Structure formats: C-alpha cells, structure tokens
C-alpha cells in the first residue's frame, strides 16, 4: 500500500499487508535480477560500516566480518565491533535521547516511522537482494522478509495512534480521571539472523514509535543488513540517539547491554539457550537499578504438523515439505515433527518424499533454486550432527546421496521415520532441514505427542473432521495454530505471532497487544469539586 505524504492522527488508511513480489512477471523478474547483480557488485571486503552512538559514526578498529553462506570465502562486508566501553556510551546516548523523544507527540513519532516504512519500500529490491547474498535467502523468501518489515512499520504506527491518547475509563462523580500509556525508557534490541530485516525493523520500530529509545545489537551473521537499516533510520530523520547501533561479541556487548542497570527492557528473538540466559541476567536487580526489566522474548520451537486418516494427503504433503524445508528449516516456525496416524503414515511419507525431490538446491542468486546454503559453518555442523543422530534414533528415508554444491554450507533435506517422541530428534530444536516423522496410533495420540515438548510456537492439523479440528483448537498447545495449511508464513496483523511455554513470552508480534509490551500505564485523577 502507498501512504506517502500522510501523517497525523486518523489520516492513515486501514492497514493492509504489503503485496508479495511476483517474480514470474518478466518486468519484476528483470528488475530484481538487476538489483541482485548491483548489490553483488557493491559488497565485499571494502564494504564497511561503523557503530553509531548518538548519531556519531565510530570505526573501532575491530570488525564483525560477514560472509556469503553460498561462497564462504567471500566477504560480504565488515561492520565495526564495539566493546564494554561502547556499551556504556550507547546507554548514555539512548538515555539522553529518551528525555526528549519520549515527549515528542505521538503523531510526530508515527510520521517518523512512516518515513522509515516508505524508504524501505522504495529500496525493497536492494534490501531483498542483500538478503539473498548475506543470508542465503531465495528471491521469494527475501522479498517476503522486506514486505514483512514494511508491514510491521505500518501496523505499529497505526496502533501507536490508537494507544497514544487517553484510554477509556469508568466515570465516577466528583473526579476527573484519565488513563494514558507512557514509554518505558532505554531498550536493547537483539534480532536474529534468519529474518535479518523484518524482525530487526519490527522490534526496533515498535520501541521507537511508542516513545522509547533503542540500542540495536545485530546478529554477527547478518550485520550488514542491520547496518543498512540503521543508515535508513538516519535518512528518515530519526533524531540522534533514538536508534543506536552497536555490534560485537554477544558475551561482551550483548550481555553487557542486558545487564546494564539503566536498560529498561530487552527485546530478543533467537535460541532458547540465549533467551534463557537473557531472562536470567535481566532478572537481577543491579545496584542503582530502579525497575524490574521487561523481557520480550521469542525463543523458537519444535513445531509439529498433525495428520489424521481423513486428511487431504496431497495438500498436506505439499504443506509439510514447504514448512520443513523452506529456507533450510531455519525458521522458528518450521515444521520439525510430522505426526501421522498409523493408517496413512506410509502413504504420506511417500508423498512428502516426492515433493522434497522437487526441491532444487543451489545458489539463491539463481531464481530457479529453491534452497540455498545454511547460514553458517556452525549451522551446517549442527545439522550434520543431528543427521548422525538420526541414523541412531530412526530410519533415514531421504537425504543421503542427494547432490549439493561443493562450495557453501549446503545440507540436503533429510526425512527420518520411526522417530520416538521423547528422543533427541523428537524434542530438540534443530534449525535445519531435518524432518522427524512420528507414528501415532490415532488422533488422540497425535495431539498428545504434539504437546509432548517444552516448546509451543506453531502447529498445524490436517483433517476433514470438523469435530477434531475444533478439539485441536482447544487442546493443541501452541501460540499459532493452522488448520489445513502449512505452519510457516504468518502475516502481520492477520496472524499475530508468538509462542507458549519455552517458545518465549508469547509476545504476539504483529498483533494489537504487542505495543503494550513497550509501554506502562499511568492513571491521573483530579477532584472536580
């Protein structure tokens, strides 16, 4: 949608999702291919960006080096790496900016976020091309990432207008009463590498539009995309210190920010291990700290698609392959477990293998490829370790011998049957292209197995039995449940996203509750007599 030039209370049209790109259209295909070639020529060891504190660009002499996962010897860019001293400087800068930014009228903050959204839209192909190269995303995955970033901006700026004025309160004779929301303070934004633009933009703009200031600590795998976004924030006219940019080692910079006594909240998306560490660290009230820190965390899942004997097996097989192997399974929403009732188990596995065989593996610069390399050497090693476990815990029915490019962090999709629910394959988040198939005796058993995990992010159920679908709504414990469709691909404003249990704090990104996580309520009462 185009809302250029609109600003102020009530002047934005109703939210609609940004349309996804159609690369089968010759003109659209050609323009994006040109963008990929242009960004490919631009990046390299010479592409450098500083940390940014209070609007000042600082080259520290230390670097976070980003490489192309499909060609690991090729440097994509270098982003300056900060230190503990820079942590203190960034907090001071954000704290100073908060004093004024928190008092900026909501309509002006909204207009600033709208400028960010418009600039992202204007450079949609450049951002998406950068993700093809730095994150290894296919054209469609990269374009959808940018569209989601735009959606987050547009959805949150409208919700900020809704929350920015006095909220309804009951009337009481003899008093005049108001209830308003006020910003929290300095926030730390720690996004993941798998959605390096959408989630970074969504978490940062949610904090900013509600009057907070932010310190963005990018993933060390995709710092260049985050740096491009920070450049854009300055171009959009966000005041110095509202968005600060500080890359560096997680142990020193990331945890240093989390532990800082003048940080008010942390917004994190990533692994369970790191999320739990952040939660523990943030829970400690340090000397000089005046609040309990708020942690907004999304920490992954062990998502399952459940099928009963009434399901449309062809539609289910297509959805399973897409959910399990899209972007190499490197999505917190990816299907990691396929739970199938015994009577249709063998036929469904055959169909999933057929669909998986159609996946074309190779450099995502080529539109015809469906699956690129995994994000890093560590990701590849982890996947290979679980493949070895798969040969011990189950029966590997697809994957070995599938050809992949010799250069790059490539791992072929693997399908493993005869997996036990309480095995490592049945319980641990892999974040790679490995699908564990678990046999269930009936629908009751399938739902029990689906809930037999510490996580609760996404899930799907395929069935033609309406009573069973209704039961799944009541009994399947996950934050995002999909009926007769794949378990990935939530749309902002349509399917608010966040999980139960150790999948995080169920923050529901892209929903009407989300901005409340960056605000606190204030009640004002005055006698009228």
Residue 314's pLDDT is what?
A: 98
User: pLDDT at residue 382 above 70?
Assistant: yes
pLDDT digits (tens, 9 = 90+) for 390-435: 999 999 999 999 999 999 999 999 999 999 999 999 999 999 999 9
Residue 11's pLDDT is what?
A: 81
- Between helices 443-450 and 466-475, what is the axis angle to 10°? 30
Identical topology for domains 26-299+507-524 and 303-491: no
Q: Tell me the CA end-to-end span of the chain in Å, nearest whole number.
A: 50
Read off the pLDDT band of 5 (50, 70, 90).
very low
Q: Which fold has domain 26-299+507-524?
A: Aldehyde Dehydrogenase; Chain A, domain 1 (3.40.605)
Mean pLDDT, range 152-162, rounded to an integer? 98
Q: What angle do CA 254, 332, 483 make, to 5 degrees?
A: 150
Residue 7's pLDDT is what?
A: 39
User: pLDDT at residue 4 above 50?
Assistant: no
Mean pLDDT, range 219-239, rounded to an integer? 98
> Catalytic: 332?
yes
- Between helices 198-209 and 223-235, what is the axis angle to 10°? 40
The answer to whether 152 touches 166, Cβ cutoff 8 Å, is: no
Catalytic entry in 134, 148, 233, 332? 332
Residue 2's pLDDT is what?
A: 35
Strands 519-527 and 175-183, by their bridges, are antiparallel
Across 346-456, where does the E strand assignment appear?
395-398, 414-417, 434-440
Q: In this prediction, what percent of the chain has a pLDDT beyond 70?
A: 98
d(CA 492, CA 139): 20
Question: What is the reported pTM?
Answer: 0.96
Q: Give every CB contact of residue 314 below 8 A, 6+ residues apart in sequence.
A: 351
pLDDT digits (tens, 9 = 90+) for 242-266: 999 999 999 999 999 999 999 999 9
Longest dimension (CA), the chain: 84
Alpha-helix runs per DSSP H in 298-415: 313-325, 342-357, 377-393
d(CA 374, CA 377): 8
Residue 10's pLDDT is what?
A: 52
* 415 three-state secondary structure: strand
Residue 3's pLDDT is what?
A: 36
User: pLDDT at residue 9 above 90?
Assistant: no
How many other β-carbons are positioned within 10 Å of the β-carbon of residue 57? 13
Instruction: Give the single-character DSSP code of 327.
Output: G
Catalytic entry in 18, 141, 298, 429? 298
Mean per-residue pLDDT over the chain, rounded? 96
pLDDT digits (tens, 9 = 90+) for 182-209: 999 999 999 999 999 999 999 999 999 9
Mean pLDDT, range 363-370, rounded to an integer? 98
Mean pLDDT, range 113-131, rounded to an integer? 98
Residue 529's pLDDT is what?
A: 78
Mean pLDDT, range 52-61, rounded to an integer? 98
Q: Which fold has domain 303-491?
A: Aldehyde Dehydrogenase; Chain A, domain 2 (3.40.309)
Residue 53's pLDDT is what?
A: 98
Q: What angle do CA 394, 137, 360 make, to 5 degrees?
A: 60
Residue 201's pLDDT is what?
A: 98
* 33 three-state secondary structure: helix
Residue spans per domain, the chain: 26-299+507-524, 303-491
């Amino acid at each position: 949608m185009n809302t250029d030039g609109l600003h102020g209370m009530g002047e934005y049209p109703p939210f609609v999702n940004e349309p996804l790109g159609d690369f089968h259209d010759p003109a659209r295909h050609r323009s994006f291919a040109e963008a990929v070639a242009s960004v490919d020529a631009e990046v390299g060891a010479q592409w450098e960006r500083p940390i940014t504190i209070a609007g000042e660009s600082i080259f520290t002499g230390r670097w976070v080096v980003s490489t192309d996962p499909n060609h690991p010897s090729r440097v994509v860019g270098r982003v300056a790496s900060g230190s503990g001293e820079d942590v203190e400087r960034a907090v001071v800068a954000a704290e100073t900016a908060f004093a004024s930014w928190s008092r900026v009228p909501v309509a002006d903050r909204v207009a600033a976020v709208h400028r960010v959204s418009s600039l992202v839209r204007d450079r949609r192909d450049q951002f998406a091309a950068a993700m093809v190269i730095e994150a290894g995303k296919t054209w469609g995955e990269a374009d959808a990432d940018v569209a989601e970033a735009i959606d987050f901006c547009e959805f949150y700026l409208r919700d900020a207008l809704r929350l920015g004025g006095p909220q309804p309160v009951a009337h009481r004779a003899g008093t005049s009463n108001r209830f308003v929301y006020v910003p929290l303070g300095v926030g730390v934004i720690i996004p993941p590498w798998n959605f390096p633009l959408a989630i970074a933009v969504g978490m940062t703009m949610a904090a900013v539009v509600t009057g907070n200031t932010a310190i963005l600590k990018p993933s060390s795998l995709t710092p260049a995309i985050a740096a491009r976004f920070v450049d854009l924030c300055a171009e959009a006219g966000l005041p110095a210190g509202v968005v600060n940019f500080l890359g560096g080692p997680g142990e020193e910079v990331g945890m240093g920010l989390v532990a800082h006594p003048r940080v008010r909240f942390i917004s994190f998306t990533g692994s369970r291990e790191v999320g739990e560490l952040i939660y523990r660290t943030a829970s400690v009230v340090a000397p000089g700290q005046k609040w309990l820190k708020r942690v907004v965390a999304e920490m992954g899942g062990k998502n399952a698609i459940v099928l009963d004997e009434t399901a449309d097996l062809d539609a289910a097989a297509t959805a399973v392959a897409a959910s399990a192997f899209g972007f190499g399974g490197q999505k917190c929403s990816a299907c990691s477990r396929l739970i199938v009732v015994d009577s249709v188990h063998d036929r469904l596995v055959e169909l999933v293998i057929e669909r998986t065989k159609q996946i074309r593996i190779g450099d995502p610069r080529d539109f015809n490829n469906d699956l690129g390399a995994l994000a890093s050497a560590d990701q590849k090693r982890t996947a290979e370790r679980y493949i070895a476990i798969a040969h011990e815990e189950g029966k590997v029915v697809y994957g070995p011998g599938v050809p992949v490019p010799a250069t790059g962090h490539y791992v072929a999709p693997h399908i493993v049957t005869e997996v036990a629910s309480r095995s490592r394959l049945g319980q641990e988040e892999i974040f790679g292209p490995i699908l564990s198939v678990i046999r269930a005796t009936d629908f009751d058993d399938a739902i029990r197995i689906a809930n037999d995990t510490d996580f609760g992010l996404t899930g799907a159920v395929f069935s033609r039995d309406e009573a069973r679908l209704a039961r799944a709504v009541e009994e399947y414990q996950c934050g995002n449940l999909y009926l007769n469709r794949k378990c990935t691909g939530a749309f902002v404003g349509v399917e608010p996203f966040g999980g139960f249990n150790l999948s995080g704090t169920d923050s529901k990104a892209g929903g009407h509750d989300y901005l409340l996580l960056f605000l606190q309520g204030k009640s004002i009462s005055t006698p009228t007599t």
